């Protein structure tokens, strides 16, 4: 992140997302500002709060992908939640605080994986030593096998055994190892989800109070190595330090993406299901403003988390949100609907372009596939046309069009007689035109 300027961030986003230049510019500035904040004087650092963003645009134009790629660039904890799943206190549904708990859980997982990677070498060495001790007969079992010093002879045997283990020649041999019995305390039976939502740590606490039980398990040497490496990693790392770093990462660099925020925008006085919409907004408000949330890892502050909200706003508009919540999302960026030209670029240019994906899938069957420029243009035209005639689902329509186009080929493979597939404009017309012309059929297939 230190080397990435806003322009470079946009360049990285361009590798995966076509168009939406204004949106990329806004999120790139927001991300760089977090790096800048970390380097200002401590006397003012806490006063600098993130400029939260609200993304407005139809589905399938890249809103979620922009936020997700942004988090990957920053190597920051990132969670995506749907506002429509939350309910006001007193209603059945998820508590809004759970978005923060999810973020902290993810931050702990990320930090644990990072710490495990750092101790991988040491853990592997310790695991090998344990395997050698497990496979080597007890000392004295071969006494009288020579005049050498027994300790020296044992050391040489260990070295030979370790070389065989590293070479993989013993991987299939079965051994019996002692593993901890991870039986769950009975309290989890009552309400596992409830405990999670409450942020309490009953299960871990009870496990520490109960005696540790072990049981024998017969596994191959290869599997035993993996089990030992994992156990050694957990033994070497300091979980308290991991949790502390993870909580700090969640508080300082965490990103929470709130999707479908337009679904909780109120369109005025209403009854029935709409009654809790404003209540959900008021519950989300203190989280975005900055508050303390109790999690199983302790109290977590949300003051400097970055919140990115998104919605299509077909039936509502951002001004339908309560004024306090609107004020907490000062940056608004509009995502434009995709054109047929954008679809052509989406098919070809991104690193994860659909044409590249399908080419790789078909090559796995020892068959090659080639698309002509006319075919690419026609696929993009069909996707754009279907979006115009029916519900506009953006770039996701390309998935349905390509799947329908290639369905017969994917079904026939593997086929010794089929070594090369050529997709031309005529093939696209023959496969898709009958479906596109029949609107009722297109609704079901495309």
pLDDT at 161 over 70: yes
For residues 62-73, give the mean pLDDT. Answer: 89
Contacts of 140 (CB under 8 A, 6+ apart): 150
Distance CA 245, CA 140 (A): 48
Q: What is the pLDDT of residue 211?
A: 59
- Report CA-CA distances (Å) from 211 to 106, 181, 201: 29, 10, 18
Least confident among 111-115, 199-203, 261-265, 322-326: 199-203
Range 423-439 burial, b when 16+ CB lie within 10 A, else e: bebebbeebbeebbeee
Of residues 10, 20, 18, 64, the one with CA closest to residue 341: 18
Q: What is the pLDDT of residue 202?
A: 46
Confidence of residue 203 (pLDDT cuts 50, 70, 90): very low
Q: Which residue has the higher pLDDT, 277 or 46?
A: 46
Q: What is the pLDDT of residue 408?
A: 92
CB-based contact 418:363 (threshold 8 Å) = no
pLDDT at 164 over 90: no
Q: What is the pLDDT of residue 90?
A: 46
Q: What architecture (CATH level 2) is domain 340-445?
A: Orthogonal Bundle (1.10)
- What sign for the dihedral angle of Cα 148, 152, 154, 158? negative
For residues 1-27, give the mean pLDDT. Answer: 87
Q: Do domains 6-110+249-334 and 340-445 have the same CATH topology?
A: no
pLDDT at 128 over 70: yes
For residues 109-137, give the mean pLDDT. Answer: 89
For residues 332-337, give the mean pLDDT. Answer: 89
What percent of the chain has pLDDT above 90? 44
For residues 336-365, give the mean pLDDT. Answer: 93
Cα–chain-centroid distance for residue 83? 18
Q: What architecture (CATH level 2) is domain 6-110+249-334?
A: 3-Layer(aba) Sandwich (3.40)
pLDDT at 149 over 60: yes
Return the HEC string of the chain: CCCCCHHHHHHHHHCCCCCCHHHHHHHHHHHHHHHHHCCCCHHHHCCCCCCCEEEECCCCCCHHHHHHHHHHHHCCCEEEEEHHHECCCCCCCECCCHHHHHHHHHHHHHHHHHHHHHCHHHHHHHHHHHHHHHHCCCCCCCCCCCCCCHHHHHHHHHHHHHHHHHHCCCCCCEEEEEEECCCCCCHHHHCHHHHHHHCCCHHHHHHHHCCCCEEEEEEEHHHHHHHHHHHHHHHHCCHHHHHHHHHHHHHHHCEEEEECHHHHCCCCCCCHHHHHHHHHHHHHHHHHHCCEEEECCEEEECCCCEEEEEECCCCCCHHHCCHHHHHCCCEEEECCCCCHHHHHHHHHCCCCCHHHHHHHHHHCCCCEEEECHHHHHHHHHHHHHHHHHCCCCCCHHHHHHHHHHHHHHHHHCCCCCCCEEEECHHHHHHHHHHHHHCHHHHHHHC
Task: Tell me the pairing of strands 331-334 and 368-371.
Answer: unpaired
What percent of the chain has pLDDT above 70? 86
Confidence of residue 101 (pLDDT cuts 50, 70, 90): very high
Q: What is the pLDDT of residue 22?
A: 87
Of residues 53, 50, 31, 28, the one with CA closest to residue 329: 53
pLDDT at 225 over 60: yes
Q: What is the pLDDT of residue 296?
A: 92
Distance CA 309, CA 430 (A): 42
pLDDT at 246 over 90: yes
Average pLDDT of the residues of the chain = 84
pLDDT at 62 over 80: yes
pLDDT at 197 over 60: no
Return the HEC string of 319-354: HHCCHHHHHCCCEEEECCCCCHHHHHHHHHCCCCCH
Model pTM score: 0.80
Q: What is the pLDDT of residue 103?
A: 95
Q: Where are the domains of the chain?
A: 6-110+249-334, 121-236, 340-445
């Amino acid at each position: 992140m230190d080397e990435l300027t806003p322009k470079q961030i946009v360049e990285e986003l361009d590798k995966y997302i076509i168009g939406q230049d204004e949106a990329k510019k806004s999120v790139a500035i927001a991300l760089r500002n977090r790096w800048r904040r970390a380097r200002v004087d401590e006397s003012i650092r806490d006063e600098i709060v993130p400029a939260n963003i609200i993304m407005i645009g139809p589905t399938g134009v890249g809103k979620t992908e922009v936020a997700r790629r942004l988090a990957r660039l920053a190597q920051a904890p990132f969670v995506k939640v749907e506002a429509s799943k939350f309910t006001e206190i007193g209603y059945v549904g998820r508590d809004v605080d759970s978005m923060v708990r999810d973020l902290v859980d993810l931050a702990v997982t990320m930090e644990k994986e990072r710490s495990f990677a750092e101790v991988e070498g040491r853990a592997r060495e310790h695991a090998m030593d344990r395997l050698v001790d497990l496979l080597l007969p007890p000392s004295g079992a071969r006494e009288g096998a020579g005049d050498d010093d027994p300790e020296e002879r044992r050391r040489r045997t260990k070295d030979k055994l370790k070389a065989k283990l590293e070479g993989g020649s013993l991987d299939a041999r079965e051994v019996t190892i002692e593993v901890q019995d991870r039986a769950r305390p009975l309290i989890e039976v009552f309400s596992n989800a409830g405990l999670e939502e409450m942020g309490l740590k009953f299960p871990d606490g009870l496990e520490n109070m109960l005696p540790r039980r072990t049981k024998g398990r017969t596994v191959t040497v290869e599997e035993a190595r993996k089990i030992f490496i994992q156990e050694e990693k957990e033994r070497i790392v300091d979980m308290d330090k991991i949790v502390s770093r993870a909580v700090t990462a969640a508080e300082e660099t965490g990103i929470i993406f709130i999707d479908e925020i337009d679904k909780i925008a109120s369109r005025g006085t209403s009854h029935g299901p709409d009654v809790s919409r404003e209540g959900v907004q008021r519950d989300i408000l203190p989280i975005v403003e900055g508050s303390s949330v109790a999690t199983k890892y302790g109290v977590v502050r949300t003051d400097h988390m970055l919140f990115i909200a998104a919605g299509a706003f077909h039936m509502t508009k951002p001004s339908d949100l309560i004024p306090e919540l609107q004020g907490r999302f000062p940056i608004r960026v509009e995502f434009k609907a995709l054109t047929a030209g954008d679809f052509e670029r989406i098919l070809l240019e991104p690193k994860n372009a659909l044409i590249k994906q399908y080419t790789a899938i078909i090559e796995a069957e020892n068959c090659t596939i080639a698309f002509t420029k006319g075919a690419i243009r026609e696929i993009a035209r069909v996707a754009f046309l279907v979006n115009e005639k029916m519900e506009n689902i953006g770039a996701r329509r390309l998935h349905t069009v390509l799947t329908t186009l290639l369905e017969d080929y994917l079904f026939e493979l593997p086929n010794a007689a089929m070594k090369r597939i050529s997709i031309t404009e005529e093939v696209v017309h023959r496969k898709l035109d009958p479906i596109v012309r029949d609107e009722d059929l297109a609704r079901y297939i495309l």
